[in-house]
Structure 1
Amino acid sequence: MCRHLAFLGPEEPLGRVLVDPPHSLYRQSWAPRRQRYGTVNADGFGVGWYAPGDPVPGRYRRSGPVWGDQGFADLARVVRTTALLAAVRDATMAGADGEAAAAPFTAGTWLFSHNGAVAGWPRSLAPLVPTLPPVDLLSLEARSDSAFVWALVLNRLRGGDEEGQALADTVLEVARAAPGSRLNLLLTNGETIAATAWGDTLWYLAEPGRRTVVASEPYDDDPHWQEVPDRTLLTASRTDVLLTPLKDLPLKDVENQAPDTPGLTASDDKAPAPPKEPIA
């Protein structure tokens, strides 16, 4: 499992959003309050952000815990942005693929994260392999369910789907192939946010015209945080938030089912013993 967060708002240092709040994503790496699966998110982290005048985000990822990375401490202090996506990771197999398995994943203007796990991975999603171009499979960034789900989303985005539609269709397709999966997906292009609540917690904080935050859990005790109902698609901008129930509609059967793909590792579903609280 993991915790993730996307932010749109006035220009802020990364640390103002990710470190300073009393229950920040930084603190959630060892002391989440609402995490349903796993207890510590110490198997990698990442943050992607947008610079003025550049639609392609920068990205910083590491395979270890965020609290032990001095490079991130400096980055969070000096880098300012109006949009970001960040995640802290709890991996099924610690260290598998290193930082390549840590969100956010990226392509073009998009940043993406998956909070959850695909049931029966990798066998359960083998029938979906033929739906992807071979080059996409050969260039997967990591051997994890999250990287494969991102490939499914990205294929839809490149085909012209809107961000929310791409997430919704991917969640329904994966849930049909692998019932019991947890599929909280988070996507931003720096101007909008799309997210799904499917099996785990999701919240949002909206101040229309000023900021929108979408996160696995609130980073403070502001009473304006709103919980997103399970099986819901969220789409948001700096001015509004729209919630749409995800209907489990029938999907077309995938033809030419592919065999199991060996050598893949699941991403986010273990519960390690908590470490001692780090000193910030």
Structure 2
Amino acid sequence: MCRHIAYLGPPSPLGELLVRPAHGLYRQSWEPRRQRYGTVNADGFGVGWYADGDPVPARYRRAGPIWADLSFADLARVVRTGALLAAVRDATLSGADAEAAAAPYAAGPWLFSHNGAVKGWPGSLGRLASLLPANELLSLEARNDSALVWALVLHRLRDGDEPGQALADTVLDVAAAAPGSRLNLLLTDGETVCATAWGDTLWYLAEPGRSRTVVASEPYDDDPGWREVPDRTVLAATRTDVLLTPLKEPPA
């Protein structure tokens, strides 16, 4: 379920990254090439981007399919950015949260997305949810598994964890509480991108000479530079470097 993408590089229109590529996120909403679970991502979409001089990203999110939103077509044509995170959504369960359930989620400089599903939701994460302060639980943007996973990641970030460590530890905790979950997480602050491959596809395209890195659920074109991230891996990237670190299975 779901497809997402993060970009760091020279300023570019949103449409050049999300719409124009032959197999970009826009097309992945109805015809993904490598999606293992679900077939159509039409239950919402969102894009978050950073403007020069402002560390807090802007977001545009809607509850319907990306191809039906004419306002997004205008935004994609004229808005330029050097960093973004975008996603199209295939909902695991129906709900009443509408666009609040669509990634990217945000707090301060951070944008976050979850591609996957938590097994046994919501009961499986009761213990982990109980570890969060009440004000953080009450601040959840939506009542779905992705929003709670984001709250767990954000709690670690606020406690001072490095982004990659916050993702890795959250994945291991959730995987231990809900075995069989798919937990591909994507996080950016506009300068770095961190991601996990845990149960679904993840790829990256690194072009150090252009100071450009793309991390995505699947390649948006047939450039031979795309590399698949092995399952059970955390990725940490800047505009010029990509580091892959294996993740261990949580104890049984």
Compute the TM-score of the two structures, normalised by the length of structure 1. Answer: 0.88
Instruction: Number of aligned residue pairs: give it.
Output: 251
Partner amino acid, structure 1, of 2:248:
K
Does the 8 A contact of 1:15 with 1:77 survive in 2?
A: yes
How many Å apart are 1:189 and its aligned residue? 0.3
Partner amino acid, structure 2, of 1:58:
A
Equivalent residue, structure 2, for 1:248:
249
Equivalent residue, structure 1, for 2:50:
50
Does the 8 A contact of 2:175 with 2:250 survive in 1?
A: no
- Aligned to 2:26, the other structure's residue is in SS state helix
The reply to whether residue 14 of structure 1 matches residue 21 of structure 2 is: no
Equivalent residue, structure 2, for 1:235:
236
Equivalent residue, structure 2, for 1:265:
none
Compute the TM-score of the two structures, normalised by the length of structure 2. Answer: 0.98
The reply to whether residue 226 of structure 1 matches residue 230 of structure 2 is: no
How far, CA to CA, are the matches of 1:177 and 1:73 in structure 2?
A: 41
Segments of structure 1 that go 5 or more residues without pairing to the other structure are: 252-280
The reply to whether residue 99 of structure 1 matches residue 84 of structure 2 is: no
Does the 8 A contact of 1:120 with 1:178 survive in 2?
A: yes
Equivalent residue, structure 2, for 1:175:
175
Does the 8 A contact of 1:201 with 1:216 survive in 2?
A: yes
Deviations along 1:32-88, whole A, 9 cap, x unmatched? 000000000000000000000000000000000000001100000000000000000
Equivalent residue, structure 2, for 1:2:
2
Within 5 Å, give how 1:28-107 maps onto structure 2.
28-94=28-94, 96-107=96-107
Does the 8 A contact of 1:63 with 1:95 survive in 2?
A: no
Equivalent residue, structure 1, for 2:216:
215
Does the 8 A contact of 1:184 with 1:199 survive in 2?
A: yes
How far, CA to CA, are the matches of 1:248 and 1:64 in structure 2?
A: 36
How many Å apart are 1:250 and its aligned residue? 4.7
Equivalent residue, structure 2, for 1:276:
none
- Aligned to 2:128, the other structure's residue is in SS state helix
How many Å apart are 1:92 and its aligned residue? 2.3
How many Å apart are 1:247 and its aligned residue? 1.4
How far, CA to CA, are the matches of 1:157 and 1:198 in structure 2?
A: 20
Higher relative contact order (CA 8 A, sep 6+): 1
Segments of structure 2 that go 5 or more residues without pairing to the other structure are: none
Partner amino acid, structure 2, of 1:24:
G
How many Å apart are 1:130 and its aligned residue? 2.2
Does the 8 A contact of 1:97 with 1:142 survive in 2?
A: yes
How many Å apart are 1:249 and its aligned residue? 4.7
How far, CA to CA, are the matches of 2:76 and 2:195 in structure 1?
A: 24
How far, CA to CA, are the matches of 2:91 and 2:251 in structure 1?
A: 31
How many Å apart are 1:139 and its aligned residue? 1.2
How far, CA to CA, are the matches of 1:92 and 1:110 in structure 2?
A: 24
Rate the CA distance shift 1:30–1:95 in 2: closer, same or farther, 3 A.
farther
Does the 8 A contact of 1:43 with 1:95 survive in 2?
A: no
Identity over aligned pairs, percent: 79
